Every structure is written in structure tokens, then in C-alpha cells.
Structure 1
Amino acid sequence: MSRLYGRGVLLDDLVPRLVGCRREQEHEDVDQVHRDDPPALLLTGPHGSGRTAVLDTLYRSYRTRVPVAEVDCARARESASGEALVANTSPGADFLIDAARGLCAPVAGERKRLRLPRLWTGLVAVVAWRFGDAKEQEAAQDRVRRLLVGGGLAAEGSTPVANWVRDVNADLPNVLDREELQPVVDASVQLFTERYLTKKEADGVLSFYRGRPGVRQGEAPLFALSRAFHQGDDLRGVAEATLAAALLEDLRARYDTRWMRFNRPPRPLLLLDNAQSAPGALLLNQLLTHRAKGARDPLVVVAAARGSARHRSRPDATELTLEQVTGGAADWRRPETGTPSAGLITVELPPLGRDDIVAMLSDAAPSLRGELPRVVRRFTQGSPLGCGLLTEAVRAQPSSAATPGLDVGALRLNGQSVTRQIAARLVPDPELRRNLTLFSLAHDNAAARALATTYLSADPDRMAVETARAHLRAEYGAQAPRPFVTDPFLRAVLVLELRRQRAQSTPSVPTWYGLHQLLHDYHESAGQPVDALHHALAGGNAGHVVTRLYERFASTDTAEHWLHGLWHVASAPHPPPRATWAADCRDKASGKSGTEPAEDDVLRSIRRLLHAVWMAADPLTAPDEKLCDRIRFDLELLSGRHATGAGTLFDAAQEWHDALRELRTPSSALPAPGPEGSQGELH
């Protein structure tokens, strides 16, 4: 998509006010907020929530207008030969090289590039190699090349760039012990300083590193930095924190001048994607820690992390909604706790709203049937990823937008099923995706284990369920005990993929019906009859389900409990193919002639109601007025036939009608939450 929907507050309000410059092409300054202490911003949400899209849009908008860098913290570099990182490299140092390259890129209207002498020199020191180590020399050559070229200090392919390692080695003493580090550090720093720094910059570099903790009396401070980095573990963490502080101090020195304070130019911008990764979280924390000590700098940090805004590592972060950051979050003040996270604002990206989805689809296909946006909203739950891919599929097939009863789950994009593409984006790991697709049918951990025991012979350690549960917890936050996949959009996509894959049986792959038969039998033996009926209906045995619901209606079961059971059973996924199921459901829900055997009124009403609710609960259906009227009619009819629950069923008739028209689950359809394992019969 060329346009981002539902994120205008971030793109056109908060970030421009923090930077002090609008992102449109016209150079228009805006009043900066939080001039003396800009908060860092952390955008959170699961896969598909649009975090990366926001950062990409900000980068494209600002890259020629202010110093800006975008760093993907999920991508750790290797050496040029593909070897793993060696002692003079780390993901954190590589991220800072990427940050320096972006921030030092040319900016329109500026005669000179931004210079970062403290950071540059520190990076040159830590990538210095132990004498004679070929792999470390290779890594150093690659990283210094990127630093020099990206910083505008030397041209790609120039002799100073190509011969960096050779030139440093030429300045070393004639006799060195193998793997000696200090002479290489000293020679690297001296060569870099002589070639690329002014006298004033060199003095500032030395003063900064002399003032850092861990430098012994009389010791060369940049060697101390490099030694700590090479030693690894916590010592490397201290060295990386020093490098992060060097970046912020360089920016402070550049922007904290009389001219800059008077003119208040736009601030530099650092975009950190995938900050949930260990090195990404560490870098963000190092930047925040430097500020927590009272240091101030002009850098606007916008990070994005997969998962929930609530996280134990961010106890003092300020959690705000998109609406609350309107106006640049002008009311924000740093909490007086002194912790790193006190300087952080977290915003959990919400789903797209109705107006956003209508606008997306209307832009893609002007001839739009009215129900299509409702179907897309119901299916995707407002996921920007889901809405975006479905919109692109409609754009590629504009006639589909005018098709009555369009099955959006069958749309294709670039010759491939859209739902398959969505599943691959929501769960990128293929093995995890295969397992979660299987577990998408499960109501709880125990049911998932039953599936794993039967069908995952390659999981001898029985870790597939635990791995899947850990992924869901990391991605979507705390998980309710039921169902196993709690996010409705992810579950709907995975079930669609499972149905598509299992429509045809093979000797090694169980059918759709075989999977549901196994789960039916499991829940029957576990004393969970409503769960068993759910899978009986998914397996196509609607007649049996109607009979059992009729028996429960006529028993001592309360009306509240019966409604819970009806919804849970009818929320079962339908068997393939969809067109056949939908036609059969419509006929039986309406009581079409020939679909109702000669039986009593209650049984006929339950049969109609089950099929109407089954269709209304389907995530690819946006219930229309006719279907909702049908549900209300039969609930009202049944209210006069229940021994004790007339009022409950009569009230539910209107509530279910209204809720389903608004694409909500009726509150009376769901049981009150209880402890894990206490809802074996309910959803």
C-alpha cells in the first residue's frame, strides 16, 4: 500500500512534533514538543499490526530532510565470508554502524553532513583485531569500509577504504606477540584520527572516553574500550553502552550551540525496528540509561517491538493510546523514578477501524458492494496486514469487489492464496506455522497435546505444544486458557489454511473429518460433551448436534448455560467446501421447504437456530438483517418453551440480533471467565 491507514496520529502529529518538521515534501517546521527531554517512543503489537510499515513510512518521508537512520535489530550481520560474528564484532556495534551511516547521509539544504567523531572513533577501536587473526581483520575491513563510506569520509573503492587493514598493519611495530591487541587499537585510532578528524574533534573524543567508567589511571581510554569489548559478556555490554553514549554525546555537541538553540532546527531521528530482539532491546535500554543519568540530547528515538506494551523490563514507561498522543503527547513528563524506562512512551497499535477499512477498499475498487468492508473487518479483526493484503487482492481483481457473497478467503494475489500469504507473514517460521495450523482446532493445551501425540511423530520430546504456546504468549501477551489460539484473526487464518490443506486426504495426511473425529472422541472421553459437539458439527454431523441440543434444552439445563453451549457449538468451523456448506446453512436456517422433517416445533426451531448461528458465527460472514432476524425469531419462539428461562431467552433474542449486526459476540453467548480447566463444556 502506498498509504497507511489508521496511523495518521503518529505520522502527521506525534513524530512531526517531536522532530520539529512535517513529513510532507514541503519544508514546514512545527513547534517542537519536549524540547529539553524528548521521550523515546515504542510502538508495540503482534505480527501484522503495522509497526514496520510506520517506521518505513517515517524513513521515506524524512530521509532527505533530517538526519535519519532505520535499523532492523532482528538482522545480525555476518563476516563477508559468511562466518559467525567474531570477537571484534557484535550485533550492538553493527546496529550503531547502521545508525551512523543513516544519520550521516546527505540532507537536502545542508552543506555538510552530520559528523559523529566520538562514535566513529569508538567503533574503529572496538573493531580492531588481535594481531594475526585473519577473520577479525576481515570483519574489521568490512565494518570500517561501511563506516567510512556511509559517513561520507571516503568514497567506495577508494584506496584509503580498500587498504584500511593493510595501512594499519604497516604502522605496527616490527615485533609483536600473536593476538596482541593494544598496538592494533593504537594504530587504528591514530590512523583514523589523522585522516578524518579535526584537532578539535580529536580533543573532544579523547576527553569523552577518558571520562568513561572502567578506564585505569594512565591507560589509553580507547584501548580500554576495545579490550572490554573483546572480552565479551558483561564487559562487552559496558563497552556497547559507552558507544551508545558516544552517539548521544556527538548529537548533543552538534545541536547544543547558541545558533542551534536559537533556530531550533529539526531533530535527528533514529528508527529501531524489531526492538524485542535481545540486542535491539539492549541498544534501546542503553540509550535510555544514558538519559536516565541526567544527560540530554536531541535524538528522537522511535522503536517498534513485537508483543504487548506491558512488559516487565519497562516498569516505568508511560502507556498511551493513539488518541492520547494527539498534540505530540504534550502533557507527558518523565516520571521521577530515575529508571531508564521512565523516558519511554509505549503505544500499542490498535486494529484498523471501520472507516479506515472502507477507505482502503474504496480506493482499491470504486464499485464496491456494501457488505465487503464488513466481511473484511469481521475476518481480519482490523489487522493492517490482513486488510492490506485483501485490499491488494481486490485491487488486482476489481470485479471481485462487486461479486455478491464474495468469499474473501478464496481471493488470490500473485497466483497464490491470500490466506496462505497472510499465514506466512503472521507466523514466518515454517515448522511453527505447520504446528499452529494443526493446533488451531484445539480448545486448550490438553486437546493440542492430543493432536500432537497422534500427528506429530517428529516431536519425540513433546515440545511442539509448549513452543507454540510460548510463541503465542510472546506475540499476543497473556493468553486465556481457551481456545488454544486466542487471537481470532490468527485462528481464522490458520483454520482456513487447514481446511484448504485437508480437503483431500492422502495416505500420510489426516482429513479435515479425521482431525475433528479425533477431537470429538477426546472430549467425549474427557467428559466435555459441548466441546465434543463442537467438533461433531465441524465434521458435518449436524443432525446429531441438533438432537443433543434439543435434549439439553428439554433437560434441567439453565437457559444461560444452554445459550453458552449453543454459541460454542455453532462457532465450529465449517467443513469443506464453503459454497456447499453456505447454501445448506441458508436453506436450513430459513426452514426452506423440504429441509424440516416432521418433528415438534422446538426441534425444528433448534435446527433452524443452530444453522443460522453457525453461519453468523463464521468469521468470513458478515450477518445481514435477514439472518439476524431469523435468529431473533427462533430465540423468541424458544423463550416460550423453556421451563425456567423464558426471560433469559427473550432478552437474548434482541441482544443476539443487535450484537451480530454490529459484528460483536453477544455477551450472553459467553460464560463468565473462570480458572483454567473449569470451562470444559464452554467457550
Structure 2
Amino acid sequence: MHRRLHGRGALFDVEPAGLVPRIVGSRPYQHRVLALEHPGELPFVVLTGPRGIGKSAVLGELRDAYQGHTPVALVDCAEAQFAGPPPERPAESWSPVAQALLVVAEQLAEPVTGAGRITFPRLMSGLVAAAAGGWGDADSERIRREVERILLLNESGSWVSGFAGRWAGKVAAKVVAAATGTGPLVSGAVEATLESIAEGFASRRHQKASVWYRTYPNAGGHAQRGLILLSGHFRAGGTSRAHAERYLVRALLADLTEAYAGVLPRMQRLGRPLVLADNVQDGPGPGLPAAVLRDRAEGVADQVAFVAGLRGDGRELLRGAVLGAPRLVFTPRSQSTVRIWCASVVLCPPPP
């Protein structure tokens, strides 16, 4: 362990605890809890430096250290899947940030020791609304393929394979019928998705999730209208799309917060969920930290520990940051401030 990671003990060590165990709240490679240090301060760690000094190795080691013990996801923002939409998918219904959220949620959903899959009903609904904006001239098979992958985010079974579970297949059929019918395409797809959440699950958690988008700006207290507005903003591109993407990021974090609510889930899932993002200078990279940090600055709490790898010195991504030890105060464009744990860790290459 750590043989390729010269001098990384400050991040990984257990005795005394390194930075990551202290902000995640559990020991690497062990299903054992560790007290969170400054639990009220939400961590966002950025590993900076030139190419070839081990940032990707650190992130890979972190994923291996916590996989199976606490929900963890690793996304490389420089991968080809984030460079552009698939050939049959129109650009107005796809973005690197939305794709990254889908990939991250798929990994975070995996069961861990002592706890089953995490479901993402809020994010699922938002991603269906965004994708529905590109179904105007799509064939039913393409719609079914796209929507079933998204719907698996709300699959609570511990074993998932093939296209989808029976519930996801049923919902996909409803969405296809709505999207290929004579009525308004987006509103039909959104209505079918929300109805299926409300009908398919009796739990209070899923009932709450089905009305979450009623707080979307100008939704007037109606979740369906909120999702239709989000879809329109997403299709519009530019700052409107950035606004919609921010709500999609918020939906992911709200679903994770819900999964950790109550005494029993917290006891079963040790530590915070961990999201690892490599090469955040590319693709969806800049948008993810911006959305998370702005929400935190405005008092929207979440449960997640973020660790990102950034090529360079981080000045552009961390614009407005004032370094301190061991904290950093980040000032987003709203001029609010948010405390972040050790926001910039500069990695140095090992000695020859």
C-alpha cells in the first residue's frame, strides 16, 4: 500500500490520522469509524501540481481504500465520454456536467458493508427532464435506452443487471409513450416520471423527493412545473444551463443527505460519502466545484467530502481564495465566504 505514493502519509495515515481519514470519518481499507475533525466544516480538497507527479495515483488509491466501506465515486473529467454527446444525442439535451453526475451517482449507489444501495430520485427526475428536451425526433428505442440508464439511479435492490429492473422498465415504457405521443413532449415525460416515483414507492422519503423541484425558481410550488423549467433552462445553454446544472448538483447532494438521515442509516454507513474528481481543469471539472462551493457559501449543507485533482497551480479554479493553515476561505462571485478544509495540497514528485 502507498508504494507508488511517495510522501503521501499526510493524506492516508491512520496513526496519527492523515487528512483524508479525518475528513471522511473512517479508516482507509477498514470498516472502522474515525472521529470527524471539525465536523461542521465541509471538506473540499484540491490536489494541484504539474502532470506526472501522482495526483491520479492518489485519487485511485483513495477509491481503492474506501470502496466497499463508504460510498465512493471516481470520475476523470478528461475522459472522452465528457468531451461531447453521443452521436445520436442532440447537444441541447446533454452536457459534460450532467453526464458526470450520472456517472458519479452510479458509483455512489453501490452497496457498502452494512448498508444497501443509495437511491437518487431527485437527480433521476432532473436528468430525465434534461434528456427529454432532446427526444423530439428520437425513436422509441433510443428514448428507452437513455431513460432506463437514468432510472436505475432509483433502483433500490442490491442486485441490478441487464437493462433495468421491472419497475424501471415499466417507467421507461410510460416515458416513451408520453414522449412519442401527441401531447407536450417534456411535460409528458416529466409527469410520467413523477407519477411513477409517487406510485412505485410508499416511503416518506420518496414522497418528499417527488415534490422536491417545487422550490425551483418560478415553479410556484409545483414540482412538475419546476422540472419543465429546468428542462428549458438546460436546453437554452449558457448561463441558463449553468443554473439548471447547479440544481442537478444540488439534487445529487440532497439525495445523499437523505440517505444519511436518521440514526440507523448513519450507523450503517460509516463516514461521509467521498467524491473524487480527476483533471477538473477539463470537461465537467470547472462546473462541479463551482456549483458545490457556491451552494455551501449560501448555506446549502451537504454530507460529502470532495477531493479533486487539478493540473497546474489551481489559481483559476480557486480564484478569490485566501490560503490559510489548515483552512482556506473561498469567496465565490456572490461575495459570500465558505470554509473549506485544506483546499489546496501541492504534490511534489518523489526524489530520484
- Compute the TM-score of the two structures, normalised by the length of structure 2: 0.82
Q: Which is higher, the Rg of structure 1 or of structure 2?
A: 1
Say if 1:50 and 1:275 are closer, same or farther in 2 by CA, change over 3 A.
same
For the structure 1 residues 217 and 299, does the alpha-carbon distance in structure 2 shift closer, same or farther, using more than 3 Å as the test?
Answer: closer
Distance 1:136 1:280 in 2: 32
Verify the 8 A CA contact 1:292 1:343 in the aligned structure 2. Answer: no
> How far 1:232 sits from its partner (Å)?
1.9
Equivalent residue for 1:126, pick from 117, 127, 130: 130
In the alignment, what sits opposite 1:490? none
Q: Which consecutive residues of structure 1, in runs of 5 or more, have no partner in the other structure? A: 321-328, 354-376, 378-683
Residue 205 of structure 1 is matched in structure 2 by: 209
Q: Secondary structure at the match of 2:310?
A: strand
Alignment of structure 1 residues 646-657 onto 2, 5 Å: none
What is residue 117 of structure 1 aligned with on the other side?
A: 121
How far apart are residue 124 of structure 1 and its match?
2.3
Kept in 1, the 8 Å contact 2:26–2:33? The answer is yes
Aligned to 1:97: 102
How far 1:250 moved relative to its partner? 2.1
Query: For the residues of structure 1 that align with 2:180 and 2:47, how far apart are their CA atoms?
Result: 51
Q: Which residue of 2 aligns with 1:571?
A: none
C-alpha RMSD of matched pairs (Å):
3.3
Matched, 1:56 2:60: yes
Answering whether residue 174 of structure 2 is matched by residue 167 of structure 1, we say: yes
- Contact 2:275/2:304, CA 8 A, preserved across alignment: yes
Distance (Å, rounded) in 2 between the aligned partners of 1:164 and 1:157: 12
User: Partner of 2:345 in structure 1?
Assistant: 347
**Conservation of the 8 A alpha-carbon contact between 2:133 and 2:235:** no
Q: What is the identity percentage for the equivalent residue pairs of Structure 1 and Structure 2?
A: 32
Matches within 5 A, 1:39-50: 39-50=43-54
The structure-2 alpha-carbon separation of the partners of 1:39 and 1:33, relative to structure 1 and needing over 3 Å to count, comes to same
Give the match's secondary structure for 2:73.
strand
Partner of 1:77, secondary structure, is helix
Identify unmatched segments of 5+ residues in structure 2: none
Amino acid at match of 2:262: T
Structure having the higher strand fraction is 2
Residues 198, 142 of structure 1: alpha-carbon distance in 2 compared, 3 angstrom cutoff: same
Q: Deviations over 1:270-306 (max 9, x none)?
A: 0011111252111111011111111222200001111
What SS does structure 2 have at the residue aligned with 1:209?
helix
Aligned residues: 339
Q: Which one has the bigger helix percentage?
A: 1
The residue aligned with 2:282 is: 277
| Residue from 218, 225, 231 that aligns with 1:220 | 225
1:91 Cα offset (Å): 0.9
Contact (CA 8 Å) 1:118, 1:246: kept in 2 or not?
yes
Q: Which amino acid aligns with 1:182?
A: S
C-alpha distance in structure 2 between counterparts of 1:333 and 1:256, whole Å: 28
Partners of 1:192 and 1:252 in 2: how far apart?
Answer: 18
Match of 1:138 among 126, 130, 142: 142
Q: Which residue among 197, 209, 230 is the counterpart of 2:235?
A: 230
What letter corresponds to residue 162 of structure 2 in structure 1? Answer: E
Alpha-carbon distance in 1 for matches of 2:183, 2:261: 44
Quote how far apart the aligned CAs of 1:23 are.
0.7
Report what 2:33 is aligned to: 29
Partner of residue 319, structure 2: 314
How far apart, CA to CA, are the structure 2 residues paired with 1:100 and 1:307? 27
In structure 2, the CA distance between the partners of 1:264 and 1:202, relative to structure 1 (3 Å rule), is closer
Shift of 1:191: 3.2
Deviation per CA, 1:115-136: give whole Å up to 9, x if none.
2222222222222245542179
Q: Which amino acid aligns with 2:340?
A: G
**Post-superposition shift, 1:80?**
9.1
Query: Which range is displaced more, 272-281 or 248-257?
Result: 248-257
1:156 aligns with 2:165: no
Alignment of 1:404-415 (within 5 A): none
1:220 aligned counterpart, secondary structure = helix
State the secondary structure of the residue aligned to 1:271. Answer: strand
The change in CA–CA distance for 1:139 and 1:280 in structure 2 (over 3 A counts) is farther
Q: Is the 8 A contact 1:125 1:223 kept in 2?
A: yes
Q: State how 1:382-397 maps to structure 2 within 5 Å.
A: none
Alignment of 1:527-538 (within 5 A): none
Give the TM-score normalised by structure 1.
0.45
Deviation string 1:18-68 (CA, Å, 9 cap, x unpaired) is 1111113x4332221121122200011111011111000000111110000
Alpha-carbon separation, structure 2, partners of 1:335 and 1:273: 20
Question: Which gives a bigger RCO, structure 1 or 2 (Cα 8 Å, sep 6+)?
Answer: 2
Aligned mates of 2:140, 2:81 — CA distance in 1 = 14
